[in-house]
Amino acid sequence: MVTEQLEGTGGVHRIVALQPERSGSGVVLAADVSPSVADRVMELIQQWQIGDADYLLTRQEVVAPHPPHRHLAAGEDFAWIEVMGEARTHSRPLGRYMALMGVAAVLAAIGVITDNPILIVGAMAVSPDLLPICAACVGFVGGRLGLARRSLATLLLGISFTWFVAAAVAWLLQLTGVLTGDFQVHDTALHGLNHIDYSTVLVALAAGIAAMLSFETRAAAAVGVAISVTTIPASALFGVSLGLGEVRDSWGAAGVLGVNVALLLLSATVTLAIQRGLVAARGDPAKVT
């Protein structure tokens, strides 16, 4: 009966029953589960009242090519349970997250002060702000407002920490005389971050789509640079301005940052909602487990 229900999902293959050494202790099942039916399998496991310690669902990276002429349906590689698990993991301000945000702030602050674009790119590569942004979007789409609130709080904490570290770096450099009194942060190449125009909107919307797709495929580290281009430079500019006492002229950078984050959340949420809708249209339940 169990194997029949698993096969009935249409995405569970190569089911193998293993008999434990001790008689009467049940049967161990092993099977290949397609990501598109992972949520349905989880529903069956709950119906069978199997304890959390008695099953394991893992992702296996397959090197072998797809069979010839095989058509990959929309959403076939999408598993809501996996996306939700990633979101829960990254919704809280872990120590590693705060440490990486601090390192990104130092690199970006020095990049702003020295007008060095290489350091700015390095800061964008280090910054993990993509993770709580996508986690918040998962909360919105899944109706988990608690998850969304935690993720947004984590994002806000990380950005605020970036401001503080960048401000501290600028203040210390000014205190030690490395920065002279005639230094003006708005004379650097990043002065354009004080203004919102059509490019701000288009880049943030496109970055949100890339953010969610990379979050689902665990390619966040590779795509993080493209996402952080909308957050870290503006955060560093505002933080350095705070440290140098030029904040009055830098509220534009804070405004650009706010607009970018809002548009990232919007486009990433829409992207995830469309994918989940495609899965539901194919008849694969995408309920939060």
Whether 261 and 161 map to the same domain: the answer is yes
Q: Is residue 70 part of a domain?
A: no
The long-range contacts involving 153-158, CB below 8 angstroms and separated by at least 24 positions, are 153/93, 154/90, 154/91, 154/92, 154/93, 154/97, 155/129, 155/261, 157/93, 157/98, 158/93, 158/97, 158/98, 158/101, 158/128, 158/129, 158/132
Q: Is the separation of the CB atoms in 132 and 161 below 8 Å?
A: no
Q: Is residue 74 part of a domain?
A: no
Whether 227 and 142 map to the same domain: the answer is yes
Confidence of residue 196 (pLDDT cuts 50, 70, 90): confident
Q: Is residue 287 part of a domain?
A: no
Q: Using CA atoms, how far apart are residues 25 and 23, in angstroms rounded to an integer?
A: 6
Whether 221 and 267 map to the same domain: the answer is yes
Q: Is residue 286 part of a domain?
A: no
For residue 185, give the H/E element and its range.
Answer: none
Whether 39 and 115 map to the same domain: the answer is no
Q: Is residue 59 part of a domain?
A: no
> What is the three-class DSSP state of 14?
strand
Q: Is residue 222 part of a domain?
A: yes
Whether 90 and 30 map to the same domain: the answer is no
- Total tally of structural domains belonging to the chain: 2
Whether 27 and 147 map to the same domain: the answer is no
Task: List pLDDT tens digits, range 258-285.
Answer: 999 999 999 999 999 998 887 766 654 4
Whether 8 and 115 map to the same domain: the answer is no
Is it the case that residue 289 has pLDDT exceeding 60?
A: no
Token couple for 215: 């979050």
**Dihedral over Cα of 41, 47, 50, 51: its sign:** positive
Whether 88 and 159 map to the same domain: the answer is yes
Task: List pLDDT tens digits, range 116-171.
Answer: 888 888 888 888 888 899 999 999 998 999 999 999 999 999 999 999 999 999 99
Token couple for 227: 């996402």
Q: Is residue 216 part of a domain?
A: yes
Whether 146 and 219 map to the same domain: the answer is yes
Is it the case that residue 177 has pLDDT exceeding 60?
A: yes
pTM surpassing 0.85?
no
Whether 20 and 89 map to the same domain: the answer is no
Q: Which domain holds residue 24?
A: 2-54
Whether 124 and 243 map to the same domain: the answer is yes
Q: Is residue 39 part of a domain?
A: yes
For residue 267, give the H/E element and its range.
Answer: helix 251-281
Q: Is the separation of the CB atoms in 40 and 284 below 8 Å?
A: yes
Q: Using CA atoms, how far apart are residues 162 and 101, in angstroms rounded to an integer?
A: 6
Type of residue found at 82: E
Whether 36 and 129 map to the same domain: the answer is no
**What percent of the chain is modeled with pLDDT above 90?**
25
